[in-house]
Chains A and B, each alone.
Chain A
Amino acid sequence: MIKDKKFLEKIATNCIDKAKKLGATDCEVTVSNNISETVNFRNKNIDESKRSDGIGIEISTYIQKKKSNISSSNINEDNLDSLITRCIEMTKITPEDEYNSLPDKDLLATKHKDLELYDETSISNEKKIDYLKQAEESAFQDKRITNTEGSSFSQAKGNFVLANSLGFSMGYQSSIYSASCEIIAKSNGSMERDYEYTQKRFFSDLKPPDMLGNKAAERAIKKLNPKKIKSEKIPIIFEQRVAKSLLDPFASAISALSFARGTSFLKDKLNKNIFSKDINIIDDPLISKALGSQIFDSEGVKSSKVTLVKEGSLENLLLDTYYGKILKMKSNGRSGGTTNLYFENGTKSFTELLNTHTKALYINELIGRGANIITGDYSVGASGMLIENGEFSYPINEITIAGNLSEMFNNITLANDLEFSYATNSPTLMIEAMVVAGK
């Protein structure tokens, strides 16, 4: 059983009291308990079962403008006492930083809101195995599926309390169920791997196992016997699964941290156009049941929906208290990053997007982290399919795609097929021209 709020809150309160007694002028504590159970399955049998039960505590102490923090997995009272003592000693030695402080009291969350983030359902290991067995059986229906990298089912539940010396103390339970199926297809000496994945707050919302298996198999088979292509400049269409990854460098580049440090290629772009007029980017923490939802951020600041990009113009940054102060802006509850981040739907259908050009590359897998936030330079490994006259013609791999994010952002066209499968989501996305390096 995960620890209840009372248990976690008592530890947090004791720590704040102790820290203040030892000379802290302010203090913030997070106590969390997470229990997860995972079953891995491969070739008709259970491969691994794993149970994790962990408590974690993080304490920040302030002495005026000096700040230090400690964290531990050990909530034994003697241990916490000696850690808080150590934290206070460290705080005294750490130089002052005028921007250090707890959040403004009037920005803190006050009301709990039920975002339906917790499902009580407990899935037994037998039931997990059943699910995975069905997924794998579905995948193996095709003769070209010869092996499996493994399938996995995991149930994770957690509870936490965040408290600070301004009197804030809130927390809530959450759950995540996830299943994945990773399949290997073989034909004519070519061996390819792909996966399908489902992750939800509620067990009943997970994709059915046969759908998972079939989709994984279909994807791996499609990749078989790939060809290399010549280097050229060509339109690139990103499948939803990889299109969302373009929002990651965008999010780091518009974080208050990158702006305050001057290390973002978008640094001078607030209230300026960085995308075409058709593009809107939203970060919404209050979507019921969504994977990135939260009532408040990691400092307790109330989170609400923010339009980051409106009609192509950068309207808002991701602000926490500390870097917000440096930029002379108020936190918008993004300490800890984005919540449910997405491109709003475009106007074209998927098929229309495929038919925009006589020849394009459809990318469904990226490998490597090739985005440079300072310069915007972008270069990653990729694989996918060649599209000719709107039709998929053959699989392509061992290529790279490269460009500069500033230019890429300006040349995005979105389809209207947005789904909320992850915390960060995108519809199918096309970039007019990128350089592909091949043979």
Chain B
Amino acid sequence: MKVDTFFKHTDLSRNEAEQIVSETLNKCDDGELYLENSKSETLVLDDNKIKTTSYNTSLGYGLRAVTGDVTAYSHSNEISKHSLKESSNNLFSTLKSKKGTYDRSTSRTNVKLYSDINPIEAKPLKAKIDILKKVDGYLRKKENIVKQVTASFFGQHEEIEILRCGGETFKDIRPLIRFDVSVMVEKNGRKEMGTSGTGGRMSYDDYLKDENWKKICDEALRQAQINLDSKPAPAGEMKVVLGPGLPGILLHEAIGHGLEGDFNRKKTSAFHNLMNQKVAREDITIVDDGTIANRRGSLTIDDEGTPTSRTVLIENGILKNYIQDRLNARLMNMKSTGNGRRESFRHMPMPRMTNTFMVNGRYSQEEMIKSVNKGIFAVSFGGGQVDITSGKFVFNCTEAYQIENGKITFPVKGATLIGNGPDILTKVSMVGNDMKLDPGIGTCGKNGQTVPVGVGQPSMLVDQIIVGGTKL
């Protein structure tokens, strides 16, 4: 990385920035200057045409000071002496009556989890447009029931630097790409959708080699076709078999958010008084792992400079760790787990998940389905949401089937499933042996900030969950 990325077009020198940071944070418990230079592109094909070719650059800083449990934050896209000093004054006016001790010990990592590649520049625009056009042609030619195709590329190259009090710096370069396809099919007047995608922290070509894009298309089309034959979903409490991979959204919503440090420090999570207690069956182990190479949810260092880690949240049914950033870890006498993340320089960091998944158990998916008299087999989900305090969570099926007498009988329409976070783990009766991570398309929203994440799980049988269908 060029040393002067952030200081080349400004009257602010690196030394001056360090000085302002030190003066601002000297009497605080924590804080940093976070600098970001981000470039991204979005290319969309829709309705037979290239609809969007768009390029974005974003440059700016966020200055944060923390003392006790009070945080002051100021950000601007103008990296200049004047602007940074103004931010510093602003922070001072909030924290002037408080005094803290700055923690100068910080951990380092030498393990880089992805390359420095800029995916946007690594593949010419023309070549990317050509693939999108091929996707459209391929799908429309494959089945004449295909009435609408949307395909998109998103690529990002993010350069960040963290300056702490005393001049210590942390740097990271983060590539990220996504490729998505959605298909609408129409048959006998009925319309349905299917979607699929892939992505992570590598170049486009790493995902698209050997015409891999065809697999994504086939998957989206398969899902749309299945939904054409779907019947109304049942309504009520019943057994649900969840497929491997993307249904891990359930863990993310039902368990993951409730284990984030901020909600537990504030005692607003249903998990806040359950540390080292049994919260699930013995065969359940749930992990948040930010260290898996090239994954969408992975980071070499988090947005506070802490190396990410593999954190066992629930081990053999016992609650072992929370997901922590620096602030909440310090106030709870714990260690940051490297989960201090932010959407951009415009946002303060907070505890966020990376890649969250359940590890393998011993049952096969067939065994689970066989054991169900009446229930649902849910294969794919469109998204979810949770109310941390009450523990209620929902998620939307996009591909699901009815199970009757141990057999899959027919596909059912998309429905919302609702359950209670702390409860759901006690209702899991079988954990599968087919653990899979999602295809690299997860995005998590919290307090208005979105960050890329991963989810995963083996197949799982939940004994009781409410299925929000229309058939009584």
What residues of chain A have their CB less than 8 Å away from a CB belonging to chain B?
A: 42, 45-55, 67-74, 76, 78-79, 83, 86-87, 90-91, 93-95, 97, 125, 147, 149-150, 184, 191-193, 223, 231-233, 260-263, 367-370, 372, 374-375, 377, 379-381, 383, 397-404, 435-439
Q: What is the CB-to-nearest-CB distance from B345 to chain A, in angstroms, rounded to a whole number? A: 9
Of A48, A72, A83, the residue contacting B71 (CB under 8 A) is A48
Q: What is the CB-to-nearest-CB distance from B309 to chain A, in angstroms, rounded to a whole number? A: 26
Q: Is the CB of B237 within 8 A of A50?
A: no
Give Cα A367 to B387, complex, Å.
8
Pairs of residues from A and B, 8 with the lowest C-beta to C-beta distance, nearest first:
A400-B468, A368-B394, A193-B389, A381-B394, A437-B235, A73-B77, A231-B236, A381-B418
Of A70, A94, A403, the residue contacting B470 (CB under 8 A) is A403
Q: Is the CB of A48 within 8 A of B148?
A: no
Q: Is the CB of B236 within 8 A of A47?
A: no
Q: Is the CB of B470 within 8 A of A402?
A: yes
What residues of chain B have their CB less than 8 Å away from a CB belonging to chain A?
A: 9, 46-47, 49-60, 69-78, 83, 87, 90, 93-94, 125-126, 129, 133, 147-148, 184, 190-193, 233, 235-237, 266-268, 270, 346, 348, 383-385, 387-390, 392-396, 413-420, 466-472
Q: Which residues of A contact B9 (CB under 8 A)?
A: 76, 78-79
Q: Which residues of B contact A94 (CB under 8 A)?
A: 50, 53, 129
Q: Is the CB of B468 within 8 A of A381?
A: yes
10 extra interchain contacts, Cβ-Cβ under 8 A, other than A83-B55, A369-B385, A374-B184? Answer: A46-B70, A49-B72, A50-B72, A54-B75, A69-B52, A70-B56, A260-B47, A374-B193, A381-B392, A436-B235
Contacts A90-B55, A368-B416 given; does A380 touch B71 at CB 8 Å: no
Give Cα A67 to B467, complex, Å.
45
Q: Is the CB of B129 within 8 A of A95?
A: yes
Q: What is the CB-to-nearest-CB distance from A304 to chain B, in angstroms, rounded to a whole number? A: 28
Q: Is the CB of A147 within 8 A of B470?
A: no
Q: Which residues of B contact A261 (CB under 8 A)?
A: 46-47, 148
Q: Is the CB of A193 within 8 A of B191?
A: no
Q: Which residues of A contact B191 (CB under 8 A)?
A: 262-263, 374-375
Give Cα A317 to B85, complex, Å.
50
Contacts A69-B54, A70-B55, A377-B414 given; does A93 touch B394 at CB 8 Å: no
Chain B CB within 10 A, most for which of A46, A51, A68, A375: A51
Q: Is the CB of B414 within 8 A of A372?
A: yes
Give Cα A136 to B283, complex, Å.
43
Contacts A377-B413, A380-B416, A400-B468 given; does A48 touch B390 at CB 8 Å: no
Q: Which residues of A contact B469 (CB under 8 A)?
A: 379, 402, 435, 437
Q: Which residues of A contact B51 (CB under 8 A)?
A: 97
15 A-B residue pairs with CB within 8 Å:
A50-B74, A51-B73, A53-B78, A54-B60, A73-B57, A83-B55, A87-B55, A192-B389, A193-B268, A231-B237, A262-B147, A367-B393, A368-B383, A369-B383, A370-B396
Q: What is the CB-to-nearest-CB distance from B42 to chain A, in angstroms, rounded to a whole number? A: 10
Q: What is the CB-to-nearest-CB distance from B2 to chain A, in angstroms, rounded to a whole number? A: 16
Decide if the interface of chain A is mainly helix, strand, loop or mixed: strand
Q: What is the CB-to-nearest-CB distance from A173 to chain B, in angstroms, rounded to a whole number? A: 20
Q: Which residues of B contact A370 (CB under 8 A)?
A: 394, 396, 414-416, 468
Give Cα A435 to B466, complex, Å.
13
Q: Is the CB of A398 within 8 A of B420?
A: yes
Q: Is the CB of B49 within 8 A of A95?
A: yes
Q: Is the CB of B468 within 8 A of A74?
A: no
Q: Which residues of A contact B235 (CB under 8 A)?
A: 231, 400, 402, 435-437
Give Cα A70 to B74, complex, Å.
26
Q: What is the CB-to-nearest-CB distance from B340 to chain A, in angstroms, rounded to a whole number? A: 15
Give Cα A193 to B126, complex, Å.
51
Q: Which residues of A contact B467 (CB under 8 A)?
A: 400, 437
Q: What is the CB-to-nearest-CB distance from B381 to chain A, in angstroms, rounded to a whole number? A: 11
Give Cα A379 to B376, complex, Å.
16
Q: What is the CB-to-nearest-CB distance from A79 to chain B, in angstroms, rounded to a whole number? A: 7
Q: Is the CB of A191 within 8 A of B129?
A: no
Of B57, B148, B268, the residue contacting A83 (CB under 8 A) is B57
Of A51, A368, A377, A404, the residue contacting B385 (CB under 8 A) is A368
Q: Is the CB of A400 within 8 A of B418?
A: yes
Give Cα A97 to B69, complex, Å.
54
Give Cα A91 to B237, complex, Å.
54
Q: Which residues of B contact A49 (CB under 8 A)?
A: 71-73, 90, 94
Of A46, A52, A147, A436, the residue contacting B75 (CB under 8 A) is A52
Give Cα A111 to B191, complex, Å.
44
Q: Which residues of B contact A232 (CB under 8 A)?
A: 472
Query: Closest residue to B58 on the A side, CB-wise?
Result: A73
Q: Is the CB of A379 within 8 A of B414?
A: yes
Give Cα A399 to B471, complex, Å.
14
Give Cα A261 to B59, complex, Å.
36
Q: Is the CB of B387 within 8 A of A193?
A: yes
Q: Is the CB of A73 within 8 A of B60?
A: yes
Q: Is the CB of B54 within 8 A of A47?
A: no
Q: Which residues of A contact B190 (CB under 8 A)?
A: 375
Q: Is the CB of B237 within 8 A of A438?
A: yes
